[in-house]
C-alpha cells in the first residue's frame, strides 16, 4: 500500500497511482486529524471525495505517530509531541503547534468514520524497541482493552476494522496478544510493533509465530514493512498486506529499486548511461527515460526527478506483489523467490 500520510502519496499524482495499478493507499489518522482537520473532512464528505481517490483507503489509527513523534523517531514539525498514556486514552501535544489533544479508542474510530476509510485501525500502544517484558505485557493488555472499546464504538458496517497484535519481541506475549485479538472476531488482523529497530531475524520470528495463530481466511497485515526481501520473506510466513514509506522516500532521495538490486542514480557512472533504470520494469519512467537523464534531474534537484523516481519505485513494489500473487496461484512461489533473489542480490 503506497503511503499517503496526509491524503496524498508524496511526489506522485492520483492518476499515476492508477497507472501503476495501485489498488489501495494508506492515510494517517493522526496527521489528517491535525491537518486539514475534521471540519474540512466533514465538508468534503470524506477523504475519497477530498483527494479524488476512488479506490480503497486504509487509515492507521495514529497511535504509532503519537508515540514515535514523542520519542523523536519521526522528525517533523517544530514541537516535540509529548505524550501521556492513560487507560482512557492518549493525551498528546501536536508536533505542528504544540496544542494538546486527546485520543480515545472511540474518538479514533469516529475520526476514521469521518475520513471514510475502507479499512480502519484501532488505537493501540506501540512499545519501543527495546522494552522490558513487563512493559510490553501491560502495553498489549491495554491494546486489547482499547480494541474491545473500538469494536463497540464502530457504527458503519461498510468500514472494516482490523485488530493489531503487539508484544514486542517476546514470543509468549506475541502468542497471548494474537490469541486475545482473534477472540474479538474482526475483519482482518495486523502485526504491529515490528520494523521499529529490532534485528530482522526477530521480525521474521515474531511474524511467523503470529501468522500461525491468525485465521487463514482473513487478511494479515504487517505494518510498516519493508524492503523487497522483507516482503518476500513475510509472505512466505503468511502475510498478505504491507505498507512502507521506503519506495517513496528512496525515490525522492535517488535510490531506485530494480530487479538487479538497488541503484544510486546520482552516481557519476550513469552520466552517459542511455539504458533504463530497470530493463524488466514496465513503468512510465523506465519506458521513456534513461539513467543518464534521471541522474541529471536528481543532481540538478529538479522536482521531476522525485516524481519519476517515485513512479518507478512504487511500480516496482506493486509489480513485486503482482508477481508474488501469480507465483502462489501457479504454485511456484519457491521458484519465484529463488529466481528473484539470484537477480536482486547478484548485483547491477
Query: Which distant-in-sequence residues (6+ apart) come within 8 Å of 41 by Cβ?
Result: 32, 47, 50, 114, 115
Q: Residue 288 class from Cβ within 10 Å (0-12 exposed, 13-18 middle, 19+ buried)? A: exposed
Is residue 172 part of the annotated active site? The answer reads no
In angstroms, the CA 271 to CA 299 distance is 11
Q: Residue 292 class from Cβ within 10 Å (0-12 exposed, 13-18 middle, 19+ buried)? A: middle
Nearest to 23 by CA among 239, 241, 329, 244: 241
The one catalytic residue in 60, 185, 273, 278 is 60
Is residue 60 part of the annotated active site? The answer reads yes
In angstroms, the CA 151 to CA 180 distance is 14
Partners of residue 27 on adjacent β-strands: 59
The one catalytic residue in 172, 243, 278, 282 is 243
| Catalytic residue list | 60, 243
Amino acid at each position: 500500500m503506497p503511503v499517503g500520510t496526509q491524503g496524498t502519496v508524496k511526489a506522485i499524482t492520483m492518476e499515476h497511482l492508477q497507472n501503476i495499478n495501485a489498488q489501495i493507499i494508506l492515510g494517517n489518522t493522526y496527521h489528517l486529524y491535525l491537518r486539514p482537520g475534521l471540519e474540512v473532512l466533514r465538508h468534503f464528505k470524506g477523504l475519497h471525495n477530498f483527494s479524488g481517490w476512488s479506490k480503497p483507503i486504509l487509515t492507521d489509527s495514529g497511535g504509532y505517530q503519537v508515540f514515535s513523534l514523542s520519542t523523536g523517531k519521526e522528525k517533523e514539525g517544530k514541537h516535540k509531541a509529548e505524550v501521556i498514556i492513560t487507560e482512557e486514552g492518549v493525551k498528546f501535544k501536536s508536533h505542528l503547534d504544540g496544542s494538546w489533544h486527546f485520543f480515545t479508542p472511540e474518538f479514533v474510530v469516529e475520526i476514521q468514520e469521518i475520513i471514510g476509510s475502507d479499512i480502519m485501525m484501532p488505537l493501540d500502544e506501540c512499545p519501543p524497541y527495546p522494552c522490558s517484558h513487563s512493559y510490553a505485557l501491560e502495553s498489549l493488555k491495554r491494546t486489547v482493552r482499547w480494541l474491545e472499546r473500538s469494536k463497540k464504538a464502530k457504527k458503519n458496517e461498510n468500514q472494516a476494522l482490523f485488530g493489531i497484535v503487539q508484544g514486542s519481541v517476546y514470543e509468549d506475549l506475541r502468542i497471548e496478544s494474537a490469541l486475545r485479538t482473534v477472540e474479538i472476531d474482526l475483519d482482518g488482523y495486523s502485526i504491529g510493533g515490528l520494523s521499529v529497530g529490532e534485528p530482522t531475524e526477530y521480525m521474521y520470528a515474531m511474524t511467523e509465530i503470529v501468522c500461525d495463530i491468525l485465521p487463514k481466511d482473513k487478511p494479515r497485515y504487517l505494518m510498516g514493512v519493508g524492503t523487497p526481501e522483507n516482503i518476500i520473506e513475510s509472505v512466505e510466513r503468511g502475510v498478505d498486506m504491507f505498507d512502507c514509506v521506503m519506495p517513496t522516500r528512496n525515490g525522492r532521495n535517488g535510490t531506485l529499486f530494480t530487479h538487479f538490486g538497488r541503484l544510486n542514480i546520482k552516481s557519476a557512472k550513469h552520466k552517459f548511461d542511455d539504458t533504463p533504470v530497470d530493463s524488466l520494469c514496465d513503468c512510465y519512467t523506465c519506458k521513456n527515460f534513461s539513467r543518464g537523464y534521471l541522474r541529471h534531474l536528481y543532481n540538478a534537484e529538479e522536482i521531476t526527478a522525485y516524481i519519476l523516481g517515485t513512479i518507478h519505485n512504487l511500480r516496482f513494489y506493486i509489480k513485486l506483489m503482482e508477481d508474488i500473487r501469480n507465483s502462489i496461484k501457479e504454485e511456484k512461489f519457491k521458484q519465484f523467490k529463488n529466481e528473484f533473489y539470484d537477480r536482486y542480490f547478484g548485483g547491477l
